[in-house]
Amino acid sequence: MEPIWAVGLMTGTVLDGNIDVALIKTDGERIDDFGTYRLMPYPQSIRSLLEETLTAARAWNFVGPEPAIFREAEEALTRAQSAAVRDLVESYGMTMADIGVVGFHGQTVLHRAPQVGRLGQTRQLGDGELMHSLLGTKVAYDFRSADMRAGGQGAPLAAAYHTALMRSAGASGEVAVLNLGGVANVTWWDGADNVVAFDTGPANAPLNDFIKSKGLGDMDRDGALGRAGTVDEARLAKLLQHPYLSKPYPKSLDRFDFGAAMADGLDAEDGAALLTAFTAGAVGKALDLLPSRPRKLVVSGGGRHNPTMMAMLASRAGVEVVQA
């Protein structure tokens, strides 16, 4: 097909309060033009609403009627993300008539990976029909759920884009892309037809939750707390024995499958150091599962801004690390 202008939306499970909006020109396999990109903050009211929704989703756990708050949050975030799309497009000197499709991921509030003999379940909040009516263009949505109904993991979604980037750069199995969001995921391409992608373990979610529990803000900004702390190596070694980390791919995680409780009883510095080291160690174990171990990781996502995490990735995962 001929390349079209497409807008992609993302709001991560870490709930950093931002809508990620990107405009690219693509035929679905190659990227012709990177267009533009923005982080657009949610109003605090929507951010608080989404945090309440996450709590309600865990209590619901796919049993019985959905919580009423889902519908409220779904409409609020759909309207906010629709406005973000229009703002981005118009600021780039285009109109919605120039856009071929909007990819609307929605907000993941609960994810249960498939098990042997059982399909997985996932719930993303997002009203694609409402967005279509607001923007007047085609909207692709709820694709994670569709993948799981077909027997897939529904994650990670970033793999298609990361593979396109590696192909355009002529990379091969020597390089992989690591995304450090609420959960971490890796994409590996052999230079021909084989793509492997899966969730490696946690990334920012347990670390951010731990910092919040200490009343020290929303995140370990610049990795300062983790850098000042000392890793309890014995405790880390025990955490790295978790069966998920050695489980063969394909595999995926919910945001809360690995939680801040891993650092229970530790002060802010040592807890941040442990959780950061665990993310890095889990990535190292994931790289060992790949058909060939890459020498270099190109790191994307919010975690790339944490220099302590980047340093621990290099030392504990045994790989060269560069920021995307």
The pLDDT value given to residue 279: 98
Give yes or no for residue 236 having a pLDDT over 80: yes
What number is the average pLDDT over the span 261-271?
Answer: 98
Answer for the pair 308, 223: CB distance below 8 angstroms, yes or no: yes
The pLDDT value given to residue 168: 84
Coil vs helix vs strand at 288: helix
What number is the average pLDDT over the span 295-319?
Answer: 95
Q: Is the peptide bond before 156 cis (omega within 30 degrees of 0)?
A: yes
Which of 79-88, 159-168, 263-272, 311-320 has the least mean pLDDT? 159-168
Give yes or no for residue 17 having a pLDDT over 80: no
Give yes or no for residue 146 having a pLDDT over 90: no
Give yes or no for residue 322 having a pLDDT over 90: yes
Instruction: Take residue 313 and report the two structure tokens written for it.
Output: 């990735």
DSSP structure class, residue 248: P
- Report phi then psi at 253, rounded to 5: -130, 155
Q: What average pLDDT does the structure give for the chain?
A: 94
Strand 195-202 relative to strand 107-112, pairing: unpaired
Give the DSSP per-residue string, 23-63: EEEESSSSEEEEEEEEEEEPPHHHHHHHHHHHHHHHHHTT-
Of the two residues 17 and 286, the one the predictor is more confident about is 286
The pLDDT value given to residue 157: 84
Cβ-proximal residues to 230 (8 Å cutoff; 6+ apart), any chain: 269, 270, 273
- The total of other beta-carbon atoms located within 10 Å of residue 115's CB is 8
Answer for the pair 231, 41: CB distance below 8 angstroms, yes or no: no
| Spatial CA neighbour of 274 closest among 302, 316, 305 | 316
Give yes or no for residue 169 having a pLDDT over 90: no
Identity of the amino acid at 142: D
What number is the average pLDDT over the span 267-290?
Answer: 98
Q: Which secondary-structure segment (H or E) carries 9?
A: strand 4-10
Q: Which secondary-structure segment (H or E) carries 131?
A: helix 128-135
Which of 23-32, 127-136, 276-285 has the least mean pLDDT? 23-32
The pLDDT value given to residue 183: 95
The pLDDT value given to residue 66: 97
The pLDDT value given to residue 167: 87
Distance CA 315, CA 312 (A): 5
* 94 confidence band (pLDDT: 50, 70, 90): very high
Instruction: Take residue 105 and report the two structure tokens written for it.
Output: 């991921």
Q: Which secondary-structure segment (H or E) carries 77?
A: helix 69-91
pLDDT tens digit sequence for 204-220? 999 999 999 999 999 99
Give the DSSP per-residue string, 137-201: S-EEE-HHHHHHHTT-----TTHHHHHHHHHHHT--TTEEEEEESSEEEEEEE-SSS-EEEEEEE
The pLDDT value given to residue 204: 95
Q: What is the CA radius of gyration of the chain?
A: 19
What number is the average pLDDT over the span 29-36?
Answer: 92
The pLDDT value given to residue 193: 85
